[in-house]
Chain A
């Protein structure tokens, strides 16, 4: 049985460019690749937010109300709902003065997973164990 681990590394803040959202939607779309896999093959995506990318994970994003567009927060919550591992860099949160309680949570949608705040060394370990590293 072969598993292909993909690490999506998000470094940019949300909204100004589509990059962060593309990373999340690509990660979510891993479920559709089942069609193309051989028997016993699996794909496991991991989403990691580093640098200014951690800003994607703030809660209470009101883009629907302001610009009538889905929020990056909603995408993050959908990832959690699908049990995708979501990691946010602890050092970058501290550097930007963002407390953990300001991060999105998908418990209201019934998700059992939550955002994992971890030091960068943990994200490095995810990089080392991934077959593909995709930077956004």
Chain B
């Protein structure tokens, strides 16, 4: 299964996302989910970013809306994408999509 998961909250979804398994696993950080890509919590990166083998994407428009940019990313493995890039990914790279 090629699974893309939209994460749009800062809290409460970590436990669920850690349990998901997929052959190809994409995590789309959108809305308040982008804080996982840009904040450290007591000096540590978010547990959301610690899933082995997952591809991480953060939506540029949602970063900018919140006063953040690519310069604030806490991990190099996160790729910043626009809405156009997001559409390409969900149409071409992921068979199933979930919204946490």
Contacts and interface: CB of A to CB of B under 8 A. Distances in A.
Contacts of B64: 61-62, 65-66
For this complex, into which size category does the number of interface residues on chain A fall? 20 to 34
A55 B8 contact: no
- Chain B contact-residue range equals 20 to 34
Nearest to A66: B61
B67 A16 contact: no
B65 A61 contact: yes
Secondary structure at chain A's binding surface: helix, strand, loop or mixed?
loop
A13 interface: yes
Given A58-B68, A61-B67, A66-B64, A15 B43 contact: no
Interface in B61-86: 61-62, 64-69
A63 to B, nearest CB: 4
Interface in A1-58: 13-16, 52, 55, 58
Contacts of B66: 14-15, 55, 58, 61
A55 B81 CA distance: 22
A59 interface: yes
Contacts of B68: 58
A13 to B, nearest CB: 5
A97 B39 contact: yes
A96 B41 contact: yes
B10 A95 contact: no
Interface in A79-112: 95-98, 102
